Amino acid sequence: MTATYSTMSDDMNRIFLWCVPRTVSTALVKCLSFVEGLQVVNEPYECAFHSGPERKNPNPDLNNPVEKRLMGLLDITGCDEDIGGYEASVCTYRYVRDELLKASYGDSKILFCKDMAFYLDAKYHMLPKGFKYSFLIRHPAKVFLSWKNSLKQTFGESCAKQMDDLTTIPATVFPVGFGFKELYELLMYVEVDLHQEAVILDIDDLLADPPGLLSAYCLKMGIPYQPGLLTWDAGGEVSENWVVSKSLKVANKRAGFYGKALQSSGFQSPKPPPALDSLPADVQTCVEASMGYYDKLRAKRIRPLSAKML
């Protein structure tokens, strides 16, 4: 989708979905991509954080295998010129705010931006005005166990030793607040400074009751809901219409971290969180540091619509 850079149109519904990794966010975005007139902008702040002129780590240590691997994943040198996506060289935080997120996109009526709160790097002034805010959460025990396994797969054997302890991974890969702290602090900014009531969705609630929770979320966010959204075709074709950086497209092509979500065809029932004492020590540390933030977020989560309201 080609953006038309112009003043934000008053009739476009602009929505943020903020999350931490491993919250089934990509599957949810895929699901909502089938809403007529909805345009996805996927993780634009990730590009600014990792690859743009203002990237978090402008001088990576190539002796550190994690930093070296990250550079390799995001390096577009020699990639297919037809892969599409915007260039990291232009992706400042201001570019994300003033160009990508203020743009009109053809006849689209809804702009839906999904990103990780820690990629914003507390640059709250780089958020555009006129957006509705929503947050996606998941039990930390599920998040960090899955996150660790995903990082091991993404970074491979060359970084296996470093991935044994999440708490020592460079902050460009694993945030110092473990993601939940950054998510909660963004919520506080939305509530206190922007005077908005954010919509908080626990993905396990949605997985347990897809029609009840998805319809509730759509109603809150002004997204047209229909039962047909609950199932979709496997495959990543719909993601080709997402606005995404070339570097993230290349990284996904190399590491395949969106693979399972894009091959999904519906929401699967959730499993209970694992017992804390069954988890590796580093995962336990992350869970214990994050449960307070998760509990505060979860206390404000939305509930399913009753059958009478559908």
The per-residue pLDDT for range 131-162, each reduced to its tens digit, is 999 999 999 999 999 999 999 999 999 899 99
Say if residue 243's pLDDT is above 50: yes
Task: Give the mean model confidence (pLDDT) for residues 70-97.
Answer: 89
Residue type, 115: D
pLDDT at 79: 73
Distance of alpha carbon 100 from alpha carbon 83, whole angstroms: 18
pLDDT at 309: 41
Q: What is the pLDDT of residues 37-82, one digit of tens each?
A: 999 999 999 999 999 999 999 999 989 999 999 999 999 887 766 7
Any domain includes 125? yes
Within 10 A of 164 (CB to CB), how many other CB atoms are there? 14
Within 10 A of 265 (CB to CB), how many other CB atoms are there? 12
Q: What is the pLDDT of residues 190-238, one digit of tens each?
A: 999 999 999 999 999 999 999 999 999 999 999 999 999 999 999 989 9
Bridging pattern class, strands 38-42 and 131-137 = unpaired
Closest CA to 25 of 215, 251, 262: 262
Q: How many domains in the chain?
A: 1
Using the structure block, give the residue that is written with the tokens 């903020």: 18
Return the CATH number at 246: 3.40.50
pLDDT at 35: 97
Split at pLDDT 50, 70, 90, the class of 256 is confident
Say if residue 100's pLDDT is above 70: yes
User: CB burial class (10 A; 0-12, 13-18, 19+) of residue 282?
Assistant: middle
Any domain includes 5? no
Say if residue 307's pLDDT is above 50: no
Residue type, 172: T
Task: Give the mean model confidence (pLDDT) for residues 114-138.
Answer: 98
User: CB burial class (10 A; 0-12, 13-18, 19+) of residue 208?
Assistant: middle
**Average pLDDT of the chain to the nearest whole number:** 93
Q: Quick one: tokens of 100?
A: 């990508």
Q: Quick one: tokens of 210?
A: 């897809």
Closest CA to 202 of 40, 35, 20: 20
Any domain includes 2? no
Closest CA to 290 of 270, 271, 272, 276: 276
Q: Quick one: tokens of 272?
A: 């209970």
Residues whose CB falls within 8 Å of the CB of residue 63, separated by 6 or more in sequence, listed in order: none
Reported as type and span, the H/E element at residue 187 is helix 180-188
Say if residue 24's pLDDT is above 60: yes
Residues whose CB falls within 8 Å of the CB of residue 91, separated by 6 or more in sequence, listed in order: 44, 47, 48, 51, 52, 53, 245
Any domain includes 1? no
Domain that holds residue 251: 13-309
